[in-house]
Structure 1
Amino acid sequence: MPSEAKRGDQRLECQDPVPDLNIGKGPVRPYVITEPPRALSESRTPSSMKEKLLIAALLLITGVVRLHSLSNPDSVVFDEVHFGGFASKYIKGIFFMDVHPPLAKMLFAAVGSIAGFNGDFEFSKIGERFPESTPYFFMRLFPSILGVLTVLLMYLTLRCSGVRIPIAFIASLCFAVENSYVTISRYILLDAPLLFFIASAAYAFKKYEIYPQGSWASQKALLSAGLALGMAVSSKWVGLFTIAWIGLLCIWRLWFMIGDMSKPVGKTVVEASRKLVYLLIVPAILYMTFFYIHFDALTISSDGAGFFSSAFRTTLQGNTIPKDILADVGIGSVVTIRHIATMGGYLHSHDHMLEKGSQQQQITLYPHLDGNNDWIIELNEKPNAPLTSFEGLMDGTIIKLKHLGTQRRLHSHDHKAPVSESADWQKEVSGYGFDGFEGDANDDWVVEIDQDASEPGEAQKRVKALDTKFRLRHTIMNCHLFSHEVKLPKWGFEQQEVTCASQGKEHLTLWYVEANYHPQLPEDAERVSYKKPGFFEKLIESHQRMWHINKNLVEPHIYESKPHSWPFLLRGINYWGENHKQVYLLGNAVVWWSVTAFIGIFALVVSSELISWQLGYEVLQDPKVVNFHVQVIHYLLGYALHYVPSFLMGRQLFLHHYMASYYFGILAFAHALEIIVTYVFRKREVYGYAVAGAFLSCTVYFFISYRPLIYGSPWTQELCEKSKWLSGWDYPCHNFLSSYDDYKKIETEQAQEALYPSQTLVAGADAKPTDNQNAPVAEPASDEEFDVDKIMASPGLKKFVDQNGNELPFDVVKDVLGNGGSVMSVEHRSHTDIL
């Protein structure tokens, strides 16, 4: 007799995860009963021993695939330059600027710190070798484990949405060997943590749907969804689209709950309130908490702080922002003038000329503190006049600004701007004059205080350092001193262009005095300093900077791609290449194109069903078909919400920006495999499973065929060329060797070099050690004693060079030795250097 546990397992295995529709009869119309049956959670939750063993097998296979050879390459790969570098800065507490929220980067820093990383390696360039002190293996292990767990989450999510065990296993296995997901989960990148949190949110919400409303299990699942959403949006702003997806699913569910006549209205209101708290307020609290930790951890000033306002930078250790500044600004003051917008650069000049227009001295906006930011305020009628007393700078005063370093004055005239020359409303601003010159009318500017932007009180009437915001209007051109994001060419050191604008956005013409010195003011004169911003002020400013920089990442990149190309996998991304090996992000074309094709087919099927319904034909009421439609619409809504916004972005985009959308596409496609088994081949399910098995086989075959591009392992030029199904798959096949034997030869040579350090023979009558001052010098030898051919065949020896590094042929070496020249052993060179 089977045991009770076995009978329970058998009962659960036989239970259909898609129950019949529960339709209630109202006085006027039928309605859907939204309360799930009690048995639903049991049928969609792994509980049998067989299923648990299947999950264990799935994790084992995924672990082998995702964790294989993590230490290879042993150098920096792709965006590890950024995110590994940020982890280093977290550990050392050095402030930096990034366009993404902090959580995922902090997690990498935490893992690195636990593994012993002290931040001494900065991940400065792709291909840079990791020193022994950098635990890069453990830092890569973290996203790889998250990648393994994401496969588990896909399986559990599919089970919660009504997919049978075999199909959930097959679909998850396809995801486990999906080339692009394997690649992005192996390196110190944000994608694996982001996808893990998105997958966690999707699973938690689908789990919430299978429990009775208000039950403890449903509340735990809903809270888990909120926590996962908070961590997703705290890793990348892509998480906002996941919040929007779950929000729309809540509205969908709420719509049917309102129409459910068996459910009291009060209960619906309570559930809606609970969702508001768990799915919006909890993520918001988490998001702000991680930023609080971010600000608290990064306390040391650096170049990255240059993106922020001076007030923000005063909160950092080692900042050089002026403090205790003389408040009153007047004629004769030596000042630095800071631009309000465009991340607040300083009005700047230097002894270099414009290469266009008047060819007078350059005037730019410069983001760093510098002596060339200093200007002397002069009264327009009394330039170069000696100071006898302090005269405040009032609204409407006409002034000249003389550059302290070069003695040239701020000047404008009817010349086109050097870069914005096509804009007739912008004129050139230059430095003009010489020491002792009193200037001309084109040096005159009217001070116009902006009362709305200035601090209330005296700062609205006369110029006060920090508090008064003002414009400078040219008296003749009637244009305002202006700056924007446009950069000068290399001859202008790529600093920001300054022009005189008669149009344009008003905030781009606002300035204020940051540093101020006046010899006539007493020591006890009023002084001001920046007010240190609080947490919320820093949070708002950091988001303004993040958004500003993110939208301006428009420089072309060799591996960027457009959103319309992503569903067709027209090209990938080159991550790394060295030693005749390559890492290239490429999706598994079998899964990738199947998802794309299914989305198109499903759209056609739904369209035809809607037309048939309008014509009066019956719509299929089979529970499995209904569940198929509901779940696929849910997942494709997630696909669309994560994909469509990409078309609105003007910044550079890459294939990996499609990964979150693609995840939802695979979830939807898994339901296509499910409906093939349960409906298309419902009388011959074995055929449906055969189709799913064949699909898995093709997926695994593609993975195996292209695995050298994932693991950076040996491949041949011939196999590489044959693998290029599309011209956009632009991994460089010429980098690979002709055969696998060639790789073995290199490995053998490297092993021999390790045992017998290779030598370079320096030949010449007056040869002296150059690479190794302690190299032993051999006595001259005869041709009989010095067998060149024999020595050249020795392990590791590559070539002969003279003392200048010039290669010598064999016969020259023999002649040198025969004429009394010497041979010395010097520091060996690597195989790659010599090749």
Structure 2
Amino acid sequence: MVKKKIIVPPGVKTPTISKKSNPNELPPNYKQGNKRPYLSTEITSKLINETSINKIDYIFVGLLTVLGFYTRFIGVENLNSIVFDEIHIVRHINDYLNGNFFLDITPPFGKIFYTLVAKILGYNGNATELVKAGQSYQGTDFPYVDLRIVSSVLGSGTISFAYLTLRNLGVRSIVAVFTSLLIIWENSFIVSSRFFMNESLSLLILSISVYSFTKFQITKPFSKDWARYLVLTGLALGLGISTKWIAFSTIAWVGILSLQQLWYLFGDLQVSNGQISRHIFARLTFLLASPIIIYLGVFAIHILLMNNVTRDSSLLSTHFQRSLSGNDLYDIPKYVTYGSTVTIRHLDSMGGFLHSHPYNYKTGSHNQQVTIFDYKDFNNEWIIEPHNTVVGQEKRVKNDVVIKLRHKNTGKLLRVDNFKPPMTEQDYDSEVSCFGNKTFSGNETDLFLLKVENEDPNRPFVESVNTKFRLWNQKKKCTILSHDLKLPDWGFNQQEVLCIESPNVERALFIFETIKYDKNSIDYNENPELFEKLSDIKPSFLTKFVELNTKMLRIFKSIKPHNNHNSSDAIIWPFLIRGVKYFVGDDTNVYLIGNPINWWLVIMLITSYGFVRIADLFRVDNQEDSIKYKNNANWIILGWGLHYFPYVLNEGEFFTSYYELSLYFGILLIGITFEYINFKKAKLSKILIIITLLFGYYFYSNLSPVTYGTKWDYESCINSKAVDSWGYNCDVYKTIV
């Protein structure tokens, strides 16, 4: 008879055999080899019985899913206004259906998913007037109710997979039901599921990932079911990272546990080297390569759906823009000439055009401001002039020549002044400004050497787009650059431009993106080479993919929390100090706040588990149920931390709702902990389950008016705040009689 095998759940630590134990008695899951005992990865009949799904389980799953859908679906049609981040999905659905390019800070799968649903429902992208949160859907054909129902379905699906995951971990059905009820009554999950945003989809995908991977662990290696759950895990991981980047933490979680599994397989004397090689290959293929391929595929669809030029497309590289319909870059001359009007693009910025406008600095020289502006604008145009008034027959600008740059709109010359820049005040920094008028011929401070980067002897002339250069001021012996620091409100929050003696080369590189010849000074008969146009280079998919992800990441990092009072520091999330305002109406609130019994119990159990592990340093506990609990707790807490600490360690505009993925792991921890308590003290377990459910339902019910956006009274609202910092506005209920 062929022995069935299992990959032991992660976190298994080789138990120490107590001196008081029978020396011939091995710890659970250990076998005696010829020379040593070893940890066996063989499936036991007990494990099969503990984790098998029966008819009762399917009945429970069905009932829990229906109850979960009801708690998420009820009244979704009552609020007919755009709620919080629904506006992003609305905009992007319209963008996709109209073929318009856009840049966002999250991967596109969630937006593509809701666009597909909207298209199936017959929507064609007509409601372009929907542009801001709080705006009414009424009077448009946007299918907001149907999309909210779909989101509710996704939210209820999470409950099903949570129950099945707990059963995979050997948790009894009754405890799995108890834990699922905590998820059903989790107010933050309900709010996220009632509106069509990425949170509900992301949570469902995480629950599928955890379920399929835990099922994969307890399935006979290389069987059809084993392969099925391996493929499902890879698919879920791929869709997860294609919805939110935090899902890379899910891949890290699966990767760490897979390495641990392989370690135990190496130690199992019954597993051959050939089998181990197959295990490694299967995991690399489906748990690493497969998600990456799916991520690439989702972006391929994303790029395919966006054909038309928009304001956002000006942030793209020139050749990427030229691949879009309606671009104005299709007829760019190849060569830069004296007297031509150019736009100068800073390569280390998002869109990055050298820019000036008729407003002066509030510090330093008080001359006209020079900045970097990310979008196309007539104030980005400059005229190239020679450093002297004599220009021969050759109109083209050669590499490494001295030029002047005159701002076309104001007629002033670009210059470097003897003042410190407004934002950077190092000794070697100088202010860059514009000075003079259209007749001002300038002086040494207005002369710049156009230093070509990686000069090619076969290309002696400056070309549009292809030639990278630096602007070196002869008088001050410094190079113009820009960085991420932005001017204050008087500078319209545009990027600072300065001149520095020893610059970071990447921050000092520019290109000429557009060129318009001065036709009055060009004789094409004498200069036929000026007929040449910039070559039309079609960027590959991978080139576009890398550029999009780079731009998205840069936008994400540039978002600061100080301008948004709805955001919060991740360090306070587990303690439920504050929530997220989703909607404030004349007499209603929608406020994302968690169920305190879940949030506070999770952090208590994580802390108490730390004390358990410390106690293990001074004792030996080889009981099988204790080992099972610790194994499960290890990987659950690992998942909690991997999805939480990236927000703690990084700066950005983060919201309490981002904690939901970690909270999901935390609620699973509640389930396996109560299972362990039942093993230790069954009566106490039953009492604790009843008390927890009562408190869970109490808080769910108490907070339901701000969860569902229903009417309330002022006194009840005030009394519902277990923490004073919960920010839903009780004043809106004062008008209710």
TM-score normalized with structure 2 length: 0.92
Partner in structure 1 of residue 586 of structure 2 = 579
Q: Which amino acid aligns with 1:645?
A: P
8 A contact 2:365–2:417 mirrored in 1: no
In the alignment, which residue of structure 2 is the partner of 1:424? 427
Name the structure 2 match of 1:792: none
- Looking at structure 1, the residues matched to 235 and 408 of structure 2 have their Cα atoms a distance apart, in angstroms, of 56
* Residue of structure 2 in register with 1:256 after alignment: 264
Aligned to 1:801: none
How many angstroms does 1:378 deviate by? 2.3
Residue matched to 2:633: 632
CA distance in 1, matches of 2:32, 2:371: 75
Maintained 8 Å contact 1:324/1:529: no
Residue in structure 2 matched with residue 734 of structure 1 by the alignment: 731
1:273 pairs with one of 281, 305, 320: 281
**Which residue of 1 is the match for residue 477 of structure 2?**
478
Q: C-alpha displacement at 1:625, in angstroms? A: 1.2
Change (3 A) 1:428 1:219: same
Report the counterpart of residue 12 of structure 1 in structure 2: none
Q: Is the CA contact 1:35–1:213 (under 8 Å) kept in the aligned structure 2?
A: no
Work out whether 1:111 is the aligned partner of 2:129: no
Q: Tell me the distance in 2 between the aligned counterparts of 1:669 and 1:331.
A: 73
CA gap of 1:427–1:57, structure 2 versus 1, over 3 A, is same
| Contact 1:230-1:283 at 8 Å conserved across structures | yes
Counterpart for residue 595 of structure 2 = 588
Which residue number in structure 2 is paired with residue 410 of structure 1?
Answer: 414
Partner of 2:3: none
1:78 aligns with 2:84: yes
CA distance, structure 2, for counterparts of residue 738 and residue 345 of structure 1: 50
Moved more, 186-195 or 30-39: 30-39
1:770 maps to none
Map of 2:197 onto structure 1: 189
Quote the Cα distance in structure 1 between the aligned partners of 2:574 and 2:142.
37
The separation in 2 between residues aligned to 1:573 and 1:647, in whole angstroms, is 18
SS at match of 2:632: helix
What's the CA shift for 1:530?
4.8
- 1:507 Cα deviation (Å)? 1.0
Find the residue that maps to 2:248 and give its secondary structure: helix
Match of 2:361 among 354, 371, 381: 354
The letter for the 1-side match of 2:552 is M
Provide structure 2 residue ranges, at least 5 long, that are not aligned to the other structure: 1-26
Native 8 Å contact 1:38 1:211 kept in 2: no
How much does 1:205 deviate?
0.6
Residue in 2 that maps onto 1:301: 309
For residues 525-560 of structure 1, what are the alpha-carbon distances to aligned partners after superposition, in whole Å with 9 as ceiling and x for unaligned?
Answer: 332145221100000001110111111111412022
Partner of 1:146: 154
Counterpart residue number, 1:229: 237
Note the C-alpha offset of 1:227.
0.5
Partner of 1:235: helix, strand, or coil? coil
Q: How does 1:10-29 map to 2 (within 5 A)?
A: 21-29=28-36
Deviation (angstroms), 1:700: 0.8
Aligned to 1:829: none
1:218 aligns with 2:203: no
AA of the residue aligned to 1:442? T
Residues 1:603 and 2:610 are matched in the alignment = yes
Residue pair 1:400, 1:443 contacting (<8 A) in 2 also: yes
Matched residue, 1:40: 47
Output the aligned Cα RMSD.
1.9
Query: Shift in Å at residue 216 of structure 1?
Result: 1.3
The partner residue of 1:701 within 698, 703, 723 is 698
Partners in 2 of 1:152 and 1:576 — Cα distance? Answer: 29
- Of residues 319, 323, 342, the one that matches 1:315 is 323
Aligned-pair distance for 1:41?
A: 4.0
Q: 1:673 aligns to what? A: 674
The alignment of Structure 1 onto Structure 2 pairs a total of residues equal to 701
Contact 1:642–1:660 at 8 Å: present in 2 too?
A: yes
Summarize deviations over 1:698-753 as a string: whole Å, max 9, x none: 101110111001100011110111112212112111111366xx2xxxxxxxxxxx
**Structure 1 residue matching 2:577: 3-state secondary structure:** coil
1:190-247 Cα distance to aligned partner (Å, 9 max, x none): 0111111111010001101111111111111111100110010110111100000011
In 1, Cα distance between equivalents of 2:312 and 2:465:
22
Contact 1:41 1:211 in 2 (8 A): no
Aligned twin of 2:101: 95
Q: Aligned to 1:417, what secondary structure does the other structure show?
A: coil
Cα deviation for residue 336 of structure 1 reads: 2.2
Q: For 1:687 and 1:334, locate their aligned partners in 2 and report how far apart those are by CA, in whole Å.
A: 81
Flag the structure with larger Rg.
1
Which string of whole-angstrom CA distances, capped at 9 and with x for unpartnered residues, describes residues 262-283 of structure 1?
1112111111111111111111
Q: Deviations over 1:351-393 (max 9, x none)?
A: 33333322222222233334333323222233xx5x5522443
Alignment of 1:485-634 (within 5 A): 485-516=484-515, 517=517, 519-521=522-524, 522=527, 525=530, 526-556=532-562, 557-610=564-617, 612=618, 617=619, 619-634=620-635
Measure, in 2, the Cα distance between the counterparts of 1:242 and 1:88: 31
**Bigger CA drift: 572-581 or 493-502?**
493-502
Following TM superposition, by how much is the alpha carbon of 1:443 offset from its aligned partner in structure 2, in angstroms? 0.7
Structure 1 residue 421 displacement after superposition: 4.2
Q: Measured at CA, do residues 103 and 488 of structure 1 come closer, stay the same or move farther in structure 2, by a change above 3 Å?
A: same
Partners of 1:333 and 1:376 within 8 A in 2:
yes
User: Is the contact between residue 102 and residue 235 of structure 1 (CA under 8 Å) also seen in structure 2?
Assistant: yes
Matched residue type, 2:201: P
Instruction: Kindly state the Cα deviation for residue 404 of structure 1 after the two structures are TM-superposed.
Output: 2.8
Q: 1:630 to 1:57 in 2, by over 3 A?
A: same
Q: Which AA in structure 2 matches 1:428?
A: E
CA–CA distance in 2 between the matches of 1:467 and 1:309? 12
1:232-247 equivalences under 5 Å are 232-247=240-255
Match of 1:651 in 2: 652
Instruction: Tell me how far apart the structure 2 counterparts of residues 133 and 342 of structure 1 sit (CA, whole Å).
Output: 39
Q: Per the alignment, in what secondary structure is the counterpart of residue 385 of structure 2?
A: strand
The one of 20, 25, 37 equivalent to 1:30 is 37
User: What's the secondary structure of 2:418's corresponding residue?
Assistant: strand
Separation of aligned partners in 2, 1:564 and 1:368: 36
Segments of 4+ moved more than 6 angstroms: none
Per-residue CA deviations over 1:465-487 (Å, capped at 9, x if unaligned) read 22111111111111111122233
Kept in 1: contact 2:338–2:386 (CA 8 A): yes
Find the counterpart in structure 2 of residue 662 from structure 1.
663
Describe the SS at the equivalent of 2:591. Answer: strand
After superposition, what is the alpha-carbon deviation per residue over 1:470-518, rounded to whole angstroms, capped at 9, x for unaligned? 1111111111111222333343333332221224422111111122325
| Cα distance in 1 for residues equivalent to 2:553 and 2:585 | 35
CA contact (8 A) 1:718 1:738 kept: no
Q: Which amino acid aligns with 2:448?
A: W
Deviations 1:537-585, CA, capped at 9 Å, x for gaps: 0000011101111111114120221121011111111110113110001
Q: Give the whole-Å Cα distance in 1 for the aligned partners of 2:420 and 2:589.
A: 49
Following superposition, the deviation at residue 108 of structure 1 comes to: 0.9
Stretch deviating more after TM superposition (270-279 or 20-29): 20-29
Q: Indicate if the aligned counterparts of 1:72 and 1:711 stay in contact, CA closer than 8 A.
A: no
Report the secondary structure of 1:528's partner residue. coil
The structural deviation recorded for 1:605 is 0.6
Q: Which residue of 2 aligns with 1:399?
A: 403
Residue ranges of structure 1 left out of the alignment (5+ in a row): 1-19, 743-835
Amino acid of the residue matched to residue 74 of structure 1? N
Equivalences for 1:374-385 in 2 at 5 Å? 374-382=381-389, 385=390
Which one scores higher on RCO, CA 8 angstroms, separation ≥ 6?
A: 2
Counterpart position of 1:751: none
Among 437, 441, 444, which residue is 2:444 paired with?
A: 441
In 2, are the aligned partners of 1:466 and 1:530 still within 8 Å (CA)?
Answer: no
| Aligned residue number for residue 13 of structure 2 | none
Give the structure 2 partner of residue 325 of structure 1: 332
Task: Give the letter for the 2:643 counterpart.
Answer: H
Question: Structure 1 stretch 560-569 or stretch 583-592: which is displaced more?
Answer: 560-569
Equivalent position SS for 1:180: helix
